[in-house]
């Protein structure tokens, strides 16, 4: 069962990668008309709840599962933070050099210090090192912290700073700027939810719900849940400022969605996990950090040239297939080279 659940996380992360690449293309390549269209909003939704929250829930789960001590977690957190800053430079390299050449007259600092998910993950890991050492598996206390963290994400929006270096620091913690994509509040809540899930998995017997009747009831419940709440979720997820700095109610919606969604992805893994396409998707999930970096470097640098100019959905699809293929090939080759060097 344990191994199956790890495979399920790889599948969840792999599906998230597929949705993530398309949403980055829609955000940066698609014309404003397509971006605001109904299909554009659906694509933004698919790049929302099934992506970043799933990455962070999985991140929290494996922090809890890890045998690393506090110092090792600190070291890993600082490493991820540095990689995140370097990625910001790499994905915006074309833009930065274009500004240096006088092609554009814009401030590059928000692009260099944008709080993307790797920046979030690095700082969150520093926080989780303390939580793992001092709070450990006190689930009740952890749930209280999650609720406070999710609440602060919306509440702190009333106290913003838009001047000087302080705005760059505060943007890491809550939504004080347009480049604060994944601030600690509310996004820490998802990592902590994954952390809590690990301990619940150890304490509770989930085999009791692994029955045909429960699966049918869960499927019907999921459909009813989506029927009554889907428009609400799409409205939040397709409004990027609202999505990045969402409030407690949407956090609760995402957790409910993730529970249903994770359950059915787990069932899919049992049935189809060994098929070629699903092995490929799981491979993407297994190598998510490398794939994330590669796709952003490709998309970010191309976006400088064609930012929001692609009108046709067919052109967007071609960009998507090409970038997914290029990312997969480059990741495969880099992993092969690394194995040859270190083995």
121: left (phi over 0), alpha (psi -120 to 50) or beta: alpha
Please report which residue ranges of 171-312 form alpha helices under DSSP H.
Answer: 184-203, 212-237, 240-244, 248-272, 276-286, 288-306
Token pair, residue 268, equals: 């899919």
Residue 229 CB neighbour total at 10 angstroms: 13
Cα-Cα-Cα-Cα torsion 328, 331, 333, 334, nearest 10 degrees, comes to: 170
What phi and psi, each to the nearest 5 degrees, are found at residue 30? -65, 145
Number of domains making up the chain: 1
What is the number of alpha carbons within 13 Å of residue 191 lying toward its C-beta? Answer: 24
Q: What is the pLDDT of residue 258?
A: 97
Give residue-wise pLDDT tens across range 290-326: 999 999 999 999 999 999 999 999 999 999 999 999 9
Q: What is the pLDDT of residue 327?
A: 98
**CA 131/CA 124 separation, integer angstroms:** 10
Which of 109, 3, 134, 128 has the alpha carbon at shortest distance from 59?
128
Contact 343, 61 (CB under 8 A): no
Token pair, residue 239, equals: 């409004």
Which of 204, 245, 240, 190 has the alpha carbon at shortest distance from 54?
190
Q: What is the pLDDT of residue 2?
A: 42
Assign 201 to helix, strand or coil: helix
Contact 281, 11 (CB under 8 A): yes
Scan for tokens 């994954």, then name that residue: 194
Residue 291 CB neighbour total at 10 angstroms: 23
pLDDT at 42 over 50: yes
Compute the Cα dihedral for 184, 78, 116, 328 and give only its sign.
negative
Assign 248 to helix, strand or coil: helix
Query: What's the pTM?
Result: 0.94
Q: What is the mean predicted confidence (pLDDT) over 56-80?
A: 96
Q: What is the mean predicted confidence (pLDDT) over 257-280?
A: 94
Contact 132, 70 (CB under 8 A): yes
- Where in the sequence is the domain holding 327, given as residue range(s)? 2-342
Q: What is the pLDDT of residue 86?
A: 98
Which of 36, 121, 66, 63 has the alpha carbon at shortest distance from 292?
121
Mean pLDDT for the chain?
A: 93
**CA 201/CA 60 separation, integer angstroms:** 13
pLDDT at 45 over 50: yes
Q: What is the pLDDT of residue 22?
A: 97
Residue 120 CB neighbour total at 10 angstroms: 27
Contact 47, 29 (CB under 8 A): no
Q: What is the pLDDT of residue 229?
A: 97
Assign 141 to helix, strand or coil: helix
CA–CA distance from 33 to each of 24, 38, 39, 284, 312 (Å)?
Answer: 16, 10, 11, 31, 10
Q: Is 251 exposed, middle or buried (0-12, 13-18, 19+ CB in 10 A)?
A: buried
**CA 264/CA 281 separation, integer angstroms:** 16
27 or 159: which leads in pLDDT: 27
Contact 41, 230 (CB under 8 A): no
Q: What is the pLDDT of residue 56?
A: 98
136: left (phi over 0), alpha (psi -120 to 50) or beta: left
């Amino acid at each position: 069962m344990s191994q199956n659940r790890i495979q399920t996380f790889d599948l969840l992360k792999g599906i998230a990668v597929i949705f993530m690449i398309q949403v980055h293309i829609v955000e940066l390549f698609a014309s404003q008309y397509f971006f605001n269209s109904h299909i554009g909003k659906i694509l933004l939704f698919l790049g929302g709840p099934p992506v970043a929250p799933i990455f962070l829930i999985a991140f929290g789960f494996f922090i809890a599962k890890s045998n690393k001590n506090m110092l090792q977690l600190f070291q890993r957190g600082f490493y991820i933070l540095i990689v995140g800053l370097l990625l910001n430079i790499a994905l915006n390299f074309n833009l930065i050099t274009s500004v240096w050449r006088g092609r554009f007259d814009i401030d590059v600092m928000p692009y260099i210090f944008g709080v993307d998910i790797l920046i979030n993950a690095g700082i969150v890991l520093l926080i989780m090192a303390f939580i793992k050492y001092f709070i450990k598996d006190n689930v009740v206390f952890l749930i209280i912290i999650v609720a406070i963290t999710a609440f602060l994400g919306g509440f702190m929006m009333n106290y913003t700073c838009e001047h000087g270096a302080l705005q760059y620091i505060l943007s890491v913690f809550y939504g004080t700027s347009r480049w604060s994509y994944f601030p600690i509040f509310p996004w820490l809540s998802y990592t902590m939810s994954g952390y809590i899930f690990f301990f619940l998995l150890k304490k509770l017997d989930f085999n009791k719900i692994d029955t045909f009747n429960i699966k049918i009831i869960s499927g019907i419940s999921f459909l009813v849940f989506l029927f009554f709440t889907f428009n609400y979720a799409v409205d939040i997820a397709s409004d990027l400022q609202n999505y990045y700095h969402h409030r407690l109610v949407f956090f609760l919606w995402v957790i409910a969605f993730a529970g249903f969604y994770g359950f059915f992805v787990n069932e899919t893994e049992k049935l189809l996990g060994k098929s070629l396409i699903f092995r490929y998707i799981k491979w993407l999930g297994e190598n998510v950090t490398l794939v994330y970096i590669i796709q952003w470097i490709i998309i970010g640098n191309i976006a400088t040239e064609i930012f929001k100019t692609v009108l046709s959905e067919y052109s967007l699809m071609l960009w998507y297939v090409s970038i997914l293929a290029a990312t997969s090939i480059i990741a495969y080759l880099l992993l092969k080279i690394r194995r040859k060097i270190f083995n």
